Amino acid sequence: ENKLPVVVSTWNHGLPANEAAWETLGNGGYSLDSVEAGVRVPEGDPLVITVGYGGIPDAKGKVTLDACIMDEKGRAGSVTYLQHIKHPVSVARLVMEKTPHVMLSGKGALEFALENGFEKEKLLTPGRKKEWKKWKKEKRGFSSKINIENQLEENHDTIGMLAIDDKGRLSGACTTSGMGYKLPGRVGDSPIIGAGLFVDGEIGGAVATGTGELVMKTLGTFLVVEMMRSGKSPARACEEAVKRIARKIPDYQNHQVGFLALNVKGEYGAYCIQPGFNYAVKTASFSDLVDAEAWLK
């Protein structure tokens, strides 16, 4: 039985994102086009408060975005600290395809986007602005710790997406507004190749979500792909990356990190620190949300 194509992506907002990806993937299209189209859905949705337009701002009230993309040939593009652009993943793709570089940051990334026809938009929505003002007034400060009661401060909803098309080409994308109320200038794991996303077209790919600092310190998705290279299933490879965090980072119990992986056979799996991380899967015969296994029960 042919398992391809397959698309997987993080969290509930992965469901509509997968649907958008499937328009390409289900019609014999290229996985790179499908992941870009897929993650553009939460980027453009103001109700998704952790990605793109309508994302939670930094401590100064600025929405600053991180995104990256990687294809089956190992090509990669990334933007960090990008402001005013609704679809950072598409800018990341242009960095990959039109420049000799991998990563553009801040003002340079914005200039590059504007020169390539992207429009400057206001990304801070009235709702997010109101909450940011309240946060400032209450002097609550920044916390990346897991907070089950207050979803707004939990901040764990980056979208990472991996897809393999019917020709066996595997691509991935990751895009986020980062941790809410972060220090201005902070960049997380999401735009860093090998941290928030890694793809090896001969093996598989992985994406990360959660407290980016933990993922950056362990180069989580690179590790997941290397574990799959050495023969582990996607879920067991993700488990190894979570265990690495547990071994190396003293207060990891206060944080959430989830890894999601897909291999070139179309097999997928996930693992996270805390219960509560889920992901969306779509194949020709299946579309649903799946709860990831957790290290802490």
Q: Which window, 29-37, 38-46, 155-163, 269-277, contacts ligand SD4 (CB under 6 A)?
A: 155-163
Out of 5, 42, 205, 210, name the contact with ligand SD4 by CB under 6 A.
210
What is the distance between the alpha carbons of residues 33 and 43, in angstroms, rounded to a whole number? 15
Based on the shown chain and the rule CB under 6 A, indicate whether residue 78 belongs to the binding site for ligand SD4: no
Question: Contacts with ligand SD4: how many residues (CB under 6 A)?
Answer: 15
- Using the minimum distance from each CB to ligand SD4, give the nearer residue, 18 or 211: 211
In angstroms, what is the minimal distance from the CB of 88 to ligand SD4? 12
Based on the shown chain and the rule CB under 6 A, indicate whether residue 153 belongs to the binding site for ligand SD4: no
Q: How many CB atoms lie under 10 A from the CB of residue 151?
A: 12
Based on the shown chain and the rule CB under 6 A, indicate whether residue 194 belongs to the binding site for ligand SD4: no
In angstroms, what is the minimal distance from the CB of 175 to ligand SD4? 10
- Using the minimum distance from each CB to ligand SD4, give the nearer residue, 156 or 169: 156
What is the distance between the alpha carbons of residues 178 and 208, in angstroms, rounded to a whole number? 12
The 3-state secondary structure of 182-211 reads: CCCCCCCCCCCECCCEEEECCCEEEEEEEC
Give the active site residues.
158
Out of 78, 209, 218, 283, name the contact with ligand SD4 by CB under 6 A.
209
What is the distance between the alpha carbons of residues 41 and 48, in angstroms, rounded to a whole number? 9
What is the distance between the alpha carbons of residues 160 and 175, in angstroms, rounded to a whole number? 7
Instruction: State which of positions 174-193 bind ligand SD4 (CB under 6 A).
Output: 176, 178-179, 188-190
What is the distance between the alpha carbons of residues 54 and 278, in angstroms, rounded to a whole number? 22
Out of 212, 220, 266, 269, name the contact with ligand SD4 by CB under 6 A.
212
What is the distance between the alpha carbons of residues 59 and 135, in angstroms, rounded to a whole number? 9
Q: Which window, 1-9, 92-100, 203-211, 288-296, contacts ligand SD4 (CB under 6 A)?
A: 203-211
| Angle CA 220–222–226, to nearest 5 | 115
Residue type, 81: Y
**Chain contacts with ligand SD4 (rule: CB under 6 A):** 50, 155-158, 176, 178-179, 188-190, 209-212
